[in-house]
Each structure stands twice: as structure tokens, then as C-alpha cells.
Amino acid sequence: MGATGDIDAPMASVSVALEHAAKALATHPALARRQAEEILKAVPGHPMALVLLGGALRRLGDPLAARGVLEPLARAQPKAAGVHYELGVTLATLGEPAGALAALRRAVALKPDMPDAWRALGDQLILAGDAAGADQAYARHIQASVNDPRLMEAALALGEDRLAVAERLLRDHLGRHPTDVAAIRMLAEAGTRLGRYGDAEALLARCLELAPSFIGARHNYAIVLYRQQKPAAVAQIEYLLAHDPHDPGYRNLMAAALAMIGDYARSIEVYEGVLAEYPVQPKVWLSYGHSLKTAGRRDDAVGAYQRAIEQAPAMGEAYWSLANLKTVPFTADGVAAMETQLARPELEAEDRFHLHYALGKALEDAGDYAASFDHYAKGAALRRRLLDYDPEQTTAQMARTKALFTAPFFAARAGWGSPAPDPIFILGLPRSGSTLIEQILASHSTVEGTMELPEIAAIARSLGHGVRKAGAARYPEDVADLGADELAAMGERFIARTRIHRKLGRPLFIDKMPNNFHHIGLIQLILPGAKIIDARRHPMGACFSAFKQHFARGHGFSYDLTDVGLYYRDYVALMAHFDTALPGRIHRVIYEDMVEDTEGEVRRLLDYCGLPFEEACLRFYENDRAVRTASSEQVRRPIFREGLDQWRRYEPWLEPLKEALGPLVETWREA
């Protein structure tokens, strides 16, 4: 008996020491390291002590030493999930994404109920640009975190992407237990995956009202706000970073959110911090390049895009980002590299269509217009297949808009809405000179340029954008039911929500969202003092320029020559309707006229806005403000004529566009 006790005593003390070291690891890593080293003196090679030592070394800022401990241990313990998890996080810290992903995937395969490993895997997938994979990993994190047996079935359904089943089970559960924050968060995750961001936002806000320290829910909340382009995301990410300032997923999200609100200096700073610690992250280099480009640091942006290509040679978006600068020609080696990637049958569709667009631009610059058009057309066809765009629905929506917003309708509501004169809306089709007009106006001492703001579209969605199922709200028809106070409140809400984008304190600011032409009636009702400028261009030039431009989001009409021609026709008809319903309300700037008589058109533009002429508006290219559109580099140069008739080089292939436009090819000015 005594002998047995003598043998068990050291083992018991090691067990106690391991328990103490494990508890100290998160908050006192130096203590955990000392205890792990003491255990290893007594029991050399003890696997758990080695895991704790590796974890402590990483937390103390020595990931190289941690890897030296953990890599041989992972080879010796191939089925130890905890070892692979700690190695994965260490490799991530060292900026080795491939090794980190492999180790973390090994960890969750060995132990699927390991929430920390799923969370770390999600963070790495976000950095790698795999948003869908990250969503799945975060869903499994939620599933593994659930200890309530009543939620296990819903958690399993969520993890297996059976979202309708998960949603039904969770709603049933919440009917009986309405304050169960774990279930609320899970239901919000299902909503997020289904694209119902407004519902998910409301659920997560309720979840955090009940449990403010629920970090997982706050992370979901920040993501949902960011995906809706809501500036409130920044405050939520700041809370997360206060909890864990080194988390790469939080930091990457913060950099993106800061770019969203136009704070490019801070966005660049955060990206640089992430890349200093995690240098092998091609998607982060790409995002960093976007912020640099918008801030006007073109050469640095080129360098960032090239780093992304070095690390991920098949990343089509990085090539397209270089092409989209429109001032940096590709070398023969660059063209050959893109062609090599396109020849790979396993290339992802997204990389493939980006490469087609980039090659289209490269061959256009080289004067090979037939080959250039072939690549533009192939890229557009691939992109079109991934979208759910219906031109008939667009035509019907605009017809409903014209039916509602008539001259008598506006007359009956004269004087309603917010009197704020601050906004200047520049709208129309993309690639029609709107960025040029914005840059000219933003060079005036009283006007601030912002970006393409999402607020008007968000207000429209809140009223029931599009036709929903019977009994649900409809936009624009429901606008007719709004009273004077409601419309004024909407206008004031627009002013309040856009204030975060106004950095200079100037009295007027620009919203350059092209698609706001759909919402002119709403703008008139909620902000009757705002200015509205229609940027218009020759239909062949505007439509073909949109066709050969890949847009990060929206503009689903632009990926087919017939679709874009029909869209232009609908746009012109809608603008003609508003010219009749609101005579003189909208100022039209014809791009070709601005090129031919810049000073005359600038003076007309300033007169419409009620602004005195300033010479700086003619030297708009000297303005170093951030520009966030495809024309960002072009408006940093004086106006040039070369772009006016570029479409004529492609005329042999544009017959479907001409047919869709019909008489507008000749009568577009009069229309």
C-alpha cells in the first residue's frame, strides 16, 4: 500500500501542476511557462507539458521557439487535436497560412467539438479570403460551443447547412425560452447565411442587450453591420479589439470597416500592422492595395497587388486590380502569366473571370481589339451566370416608379421632408463621368466629396424594396402612405447617418451612388432642398464602358450587351419622366460637353448648385482627396479626349447593344 502511494504521489503532483499551468496560460503565460518547464524536468517529454510550453512561448511573443516545441510534438502525437490546434495558431502567428490551415483542419477533424479550433480556423479562412468557408467554420464554432442538449439538434443542422431546419427548431425553442442568448445567436447566424442581414442584426442587438459581454455574438454583430455597409460596425469591432487586441480576424475586419467609412489613413495603418505579423496573406495584401489606391498612393498600391500575385499567382482579382488602375500597362511577362493561369482547368470561376477582364484591358492597351473583346465577353458571360438579374423586373420596377411619382403627387406634398440643403446627389449610369463631376465639385471650398453612400438604398429597402409576397410591404408604393413627419424624419436620418463620412466640416457634401436615380422620387420627398445631378454619356460609350468594367458589387445589368442597352433605355425614360414631373429640378451634365467646354460646363454646374465660381474646380486633378471608384486614377489627371470614342474600336462586336438601344443611339441627347 505504501509503495503504491509513493509511486502515485509524483504523478498526482504532476497532474496538479499541469492543471495550474493550464489555468495560468491565458492570463499569466510566464507562470505557465515556468510550471511547464518544471514538469518537463521531472517528466521529460511529457506531451501535455510540451503543449503548455509551446502555448506559453507563443503568448510571450516567441512563436519561433513555440514552433520548435510543437512541430516535433505534432509528428510524435499525430492524433492529438490540442497539439495541432496550438501548432496551427503558432504558424498563423508566424505568417504561414498554408501550414496554419492544415494544422487547424487536422485539429477539428480529430476533435470536432473543439470550439477554439473552429474559431481560429474561421479567422484564417477570413484572412485567406474564403468567406463561405469562414462562415461554415464559425457555424461549427457555435455548434461546438453549445452545451444545452435542447439546442444540439439545431446546432447540428446549422453546422450541416440545413438552415431551414435550424431556423424552425430555434424559433420553436425561443418561443418557449425567449431570452436564451445562445439560441438567439444561432438564429441570427442562420439569418446571416440566408442573406437576411436586417433580421440577423435585430436578433444580435437583442442578444447583446441581454448579454453585453457575449463576445461571439458581438463578433457576429460586427460582421452583419459591416456586410450592410453600416458605420456602426466600427464601434463593435473596437469593443472586440479591446477584448483581444491581437486577434487577426478582428484587425482585418477593422481595416475593412475603416475603409468603408472613408478613414483610409487608419485603414492602411491597421493593414500594415496585420501584414507585419502575417506577411503571407495575399487577400490582405489585395485589400491593403485597395485602400492605398483610394488614398491616391498608386505606386504603393501596385506594389501591394504585386505582392498578392507573388503569393497567389492564380488570384485573378489582383491582376484585375492592376488593370483597373487604368494607368499601369501590363508587360509581356504579365500577359503570359495571366494566360498560363487561364489555361489551368481547375481555376476557380471568380479567378477566371477576373483574369479575362484583366487580359481584356491588357490587350486593349496593346491595340489587339478583337482578342480584347473576346476576353471581355468571356469574363462578362462568366460573371452573368453567377448573378440573378432579370431585365424585365428592372423595367417593371421603373414603370411602377413612374406611375407613382407624378407631378400631382409631388404637388400634394410640397414643403414636406427635411429642409437640409447639404446633399448633392450625382447619379446616372456608372462610367458616365460621375466621378469627374464629383472631383470638380469636391474641389470647391464649400463642398466635400465622400463616396457612393448606401443610405438612400437602405431607406428604400426599409420600405420594402421590390415586390414581396402578398401582404408584405412594397416599394415605391408604400411611400404614398408616409406622412410629412415621417418623410422629414427619414431626411434627417439620412443627414445623421452620413455625417460620419464628412471629415472636413464643409456645408455641402456629395453622394455619388449612381443607382440613386431609381430613388429620385424618394429623395425629392425626404430632402427637397438637395441638389440632383444626372451624369449622362453617349449610350454606346457609357454602355460599352460599363460592359468591360468588372464591378465589385451591384450593376448586374452590365454583364450582357443586350441587358445594358435595355437598362440605358429604362434609365433615360425614367429621367425624362422626372424632367416632366419635376421641371428644372435635375441638372444634367453631358460628359462629351464637359470634355469639349470644361469651363462653360463647370460654371453651369456651380450655378445650379448656387455656388460661386472657383478656379480650383478647373484644377480638380490637383485635389488629393480619396477617390473610391474605377475612375480614381483618371480624375487625378486633366481631362483628356481619348476616351470619348473608345467604343468605336469595338463597333464590329457591339450589334446586340445597338439593337437594344434602338433609336437612342442617335436621339439620346433629346431624350
pLDDT tens column, 467-526? 444 444 489 999 999 999 999 999 999 999 999 999 899 999 999 999 999 999 999 999
The reported pLDDT for the residue numbered 145 is: 72
Which tens digit of pLDDT belongs to each residue from 420-473?
A: 999 999 999 998 999 999 999 999 999 999 989 999 998 998 886 444 444 444
Q: At what angle are helices 47-59 and 2-25 packed, to 10 degrees?
A: 20
Which tens digit of pLDDT belongs to each residue from 513-522?
A: 999 999 999 9
Nearest to 527 by CA among 509, 554, 500, 505: 509
The reported pLDDT for the residue numbered 440 is: 95
The reported pLDDT for the residue numbered 133 is: 85
pLDDT beyond 60 at 246:
yes
The reported pLDDT for the residue numbered 464 is: 64
CB 97 within 8 A of CB 281: yes
Secondary-structure breakdown of the chain: helix, strand, coil percentages, each rounded to the nearest 5: 70, 5, 30
Beta bridge partners of 590: 536
Find the range with the poorest average confidence among 154-163, 281-290, 391-400. 154-163
What's the CA gap between 96 and 280, in Å, rounded?
Answer: 6
What's the CA gap between 433 and 444, in Å, rounded?
Answer: 18
What's the CA gap between 457 and 626, in Å, rounded?
Answer: 23
pLDDT beyond 90 at 570:
yes
What's the CA gap between 2 and 117, in Å, rounded?
Answer: 43
pLDDT beyond 70 at 270:
yes
All residues at 6 or more sequence positions from 420 whose CB lies less than 8 Å from its CB, including other chains: 491, 492, 495, 527, 529, 530
What's the CA gap between 407 and 405, in Å, rounded?
Answer: 7
44 three-class SS: coil
The reported pLDDT for the residue numbered 113 is: 85
Mean pLDDT of 80-95: 90
The reported pLDDT for the residue numbered 5 is: 36
What's the CA gap between 321 and 323, in Å, rounded?
Answer: 5
What's phi and psi for 325, nearest 5 deg?
-65, -25
What's the CA gap between 97 and 132, in Å, rounded?
Answer: 17
Q: At what angle are helices 369-385 and 349-365 packed, to 10 degrees?
A: 160
Strand order in the sheet with 508-511: 447-451, 508-511, 423-428, 531-536, 586-590
What's the CA gap between 166 and 404, in Å, rounded?
Answer: 40
What's the CA gap between 92 and 128, in Å, rounded?
Answer: 11
pLDDT beyond 80 at 147:
no
C-alpha cell at 617: 474646380
Mean pLDDT of 526-531: 98
Q: How many helices (H) and strands (E) does the chain have?
A: 34, 7
All residues at 6 or more sequence positions from 418 whose CB lies less than 8 Å from its CB, including other chains: 487, 488, 490, 491, 492, 494, 495, 526, 527, 529
Beta bridge partners of 531: 424
| Residue 377 identity | A
45 three-class SS: coil
Q: Left, alpha or beta for 326 (phi > 0: left; psi -120 to 50: alpha)?
A: left
| Residue 35 identity | Q
User: Which class for 205: exposed (0-12), middle (13-18), buried (19 or more C-beta within 10 A)?
Assistant: middle
The mean predicted confidence, pLDDT, of the chain is 89
More confident residue, 328 or 110: 110
User: Which residue segments constitute the domains of the chain, with CATH numbers given?
Assistant: 396-667 (3.40.50.300)
What's the CA gap between 294 and 301, in Å, rounded?
Answer: 9
- Under DSSP, the state recorded for 433 is S
Beta bridge partners of 533: 426, 587
Beta bridge partners of 508: 447
pLDDT beyond 50 at 335:
yes
Nearest to 544 by CA among 567, 570, 577, 573: 567
pLDDT beyond 90 at 182:
no
pLDDT beyond 80 at 146:
no
What's the CA gap between 25 and 305, in Å, rounded?
Answer: 39
Which tens digit of pLDDT belongs to each residue from 540-554?
A: 999 999 999 999 888
- What percent of the chain is modeled with pLDDT above 90? 65
CB 365 within 8 A of CB 327: no
180 three-class SS: coil
pLDDT beyond 70 at 164:
yes
pLDDT beyond 90 at 385:
yes
Q: Left, alpha or beta for 161 (phi > 0: left; psi -120 to 50: alpha)?
A: left
What's the CA gap between 66 and 407, in Å, rounded?
Answer: 73
| Residue 562 identity | T
All residues at 6 or more sequence positions from 381 whose CB lies less than 8 Å from its CB, including other chains: 559, 560
Q: Which helix (H) or strand (E) holds 369?
A: helix 369-385
What's the CA gap between 428 and 430, in Å, rounded?
Answer: 7
The reported pLDDT for the residue numbered 132 is: 77
The reported pLDDT for the residue numbered 463 is: 86
More confident residue, 141 or 176: 176
CB 127 within 8 A of CB 281: yes
CB 510 within 8 A of CB 441: yes
C-alpha cell at 83: 497539439
Nearest to 173 by CA among 154, 195, 197: 154
Find the range with the poorest average confidence among 16-20, 252-256, 507-511. 16-20
- Under DSSP, the state recorded for 150 is G
- What percent of the chain is modeled with pLDDT above 70? 94
Helices (H), 63-214: 63-76, 81-93, 97-110, 115-127, 131-145, 152-159, 163-176, 181-193, 197-210
Q: Which helix (H) or strand (E) holds 531?
A: strand 531-536
More confident residue, 544 or 177: 544
Find the range with the poorest average confidence among 130-139, 211-220, 310-319, 561-570. 130-139
C-alpha cell at 296: 491616391
90 three-class SS: helix
Nearest to 312 by CA among 128, 532, 74: 128
What's the CA gap between 336 and 142, in Å, rounded?
Answer: 45
Mean pLDDT of 148-155: 79
534 three-class SS: strand
pLDDT beyond 50 at 3:
no
The reported pLDDT for the residue numbered 159 is: 78
